[in-house]
Structure 1
Amino acid sequence: MVCNFAVLQLCIYTVMSRMDYFRFVLLTVLASFIEDSLAISCVVDQFSVKNGFDHKRYSGKWYALAKKDPEGLFLQDNISAEYSVDEEGTMTASSKGRVKLFGFWVICADMTAQYNVPDPHIPGKMEMAYKGLASYLSNGGDHYWVIDTDYDNYAITYSCRRQKDDGTCDDGYAIVFSRNPRGLPPNIQPIIRQKQEEICLSEQFEPVLQSGACP
């Protein structure tokens, strides 16, 4: 009788152990499936921008607080941009920032830009034509995507200059802007970090000095 009871206990223990094992395997597979389904895509064309972007609310002055640089020459620090919208709805900007030329010459550069919206259903995705107001500064065109903004405190913009064959970005840049050159409210920081992850640039930003060198 005791022997039979012991065997029964062993059988129950074995069955329960197998059930726990299968349950563990099932949960592992399920967790992997959920993780894959929630994975952030780094394909540029799948990045989301500010829904219903309002150019007029965006107008005014912004200060860069952090940036991820592209390849080549780019504004170094004390970066600011002032946006305006004319009667026809076209947005333009004048921007300033320090730039290092020829590896040693640091100056305050003035740039201008004009923006157009290729698809009126996605006003947050713009094309930017920019030029430097001096002959040694670059001219050209880039995407200008407003990934997110609350218009009053922060904005994060993105541009991919060159894509890889798989649709991910091979050369791009992004800027975190603030209305206040001294920084952003603490409650905004988690939003910024989330948006940096969504454009696959988490931990690639560096702070931008705002010392008033280019008023």
Structure 2
Amino acid sequence: MVQSQKSTTMISWSVRLFVLAVCFTRTVCSQSSTCPQISSIPFQSSFDFDRFAGELKWNVLLYNKIVPIEGLDMPVNKSDLSFLFSRNSNNTQTVTIAGRVRLAPTVAFCLELEGIVDSLSGNAAKLQQNYFNPLTKKLFTFNFWVLHTDYKNLAVVYACEKTMVDGTCNHSDTYLWTLSRGTSHTPAEMKTIKDVGSSVCMDVTHLRHVSHKSPCAAAERLHS
């Protein structure tokens, strides 16, 4: 009788584990099926680099994480970076990045770099920033794809640094930033950010906020 009860209990737990496994698999599949392949992500249509530049800086306000910088022994914990896009005398798309990079609560430094901006795959909104890394003496490159912008006060920027076999982005290598000409987003802008973020499987409610209350002198020198 005791042996029979043990067998029944083991079968019961086996069934429960099987059901949980099936449910988990379906949940994961359901979540992954909503994530678009990188090749099908809708970017800002008819993107105009010169309007985007606008002779005004863009401040990073919300972000999920910072792209790792080669040569730093510690990961970037926080950053209040600003971007100024323009064209040089050769009509080349350029960018100046300036702000404070924080590695730990008591370790931070101000940074100012000038780089070149390329448009990838014939898509004007798929920008790639290229800088000379003074730490490694090599080129430092990262994606900067404009998903949406009104050119006036809002831009939602995305980057995928590792594409999976199924064509979607590896979650740990997905980046999302929001930019503003000022230091805040309106409720209407936040709704747009939520909608755009959802289209690339990003929950914007967990994004980190940058206040820009005490910017580095280099960031203040950028056009505002």
The two structures share one fold, judged by TM-score above 0.5: yes
Q: Which whole-Å CA distance do the structure 2 matches of 1:146 and 1:62 have between them?
A: 13
Q: Take 2:157 and 2:77, find their aligned partners in 1: how far apart are those partners?
A: 15
Equivalent residue runs for 1:1-215 within 5 Å = 40-59=34-53, 60-70=56-66, 72=68, 73-74=75-76, 76-86=78-88, 89-101=91-103, 104-120=106-122, 122-132=123-133, 134-135=134-135, 139-170=139-170, 171-181=173-183, 183-203=184-204, 204-214=206-216, 215=220
Identity of aligned residues (%): 22
Q: Alignment partner of 1:128: what SS?
A: strand
RMSD of the alignment, in Å? 2.6
Q: Which runs of 5+ in 2 are unaligned?
A: 1-29, 69-74
Deviates more, 1:145-154 or 1:109-118: 109-118
Deviation at 1:169, TM superposition (A): 1.7
Question: Aligned partners of 2:101 and 2:117: how far apart in 1?
Answer: 23
Q: Deviation per CA, 1:100-152, whole angstroms, max 9, x where unpaired? A: 348852111122221112333x21112221234x4379842122211100000
CA separation of 1:116 and 1:71: change in aligned 2, threshold 3 A: closer
Say whether the 8 Å CA contact 1:97–1:110 is kept in structure 2.
Answer: yes
Rg comparison, structure with higher value = 1
Counterpart-to-counterpart distance in 2, 1:82 and 1:75: 22
Judged with a 3 Å threshold, the aligned counterparts in structure 2 of structure 1 residues 195 and 99 are, in CA distance, closer, same or farther, namely: same
Q: Which whole-Å CA distance do the structure 2 matches of 1:74 and 1:44 have between them? A: 26
Structure 1 residues 66 and 152, CA gap change in structure 2 (3 angstroms): same
Q: CA deviation at 1:157?
A: 0.9
Change (3 A) 1:190 1:89: farther
State the AA in 2 paired with 1:46. S
**Ranges of 4+ aligned residues in structure 1 off by more than 4 Å:** 101-104, 136-139
Query: Aligned letter for 1:64?
Result: V
Give the TM-score normalised by the residue count of structure 1.
0.71
Indicate the SS of the match to 2:81: strand
Equivalences, count: 175
Structure 1 residues without counterparts, runs of 5 or longer: 1-35
Distance 1:192 1:74 in 2: 24
State the secondary structure of the residue aligned to 1:192: helix
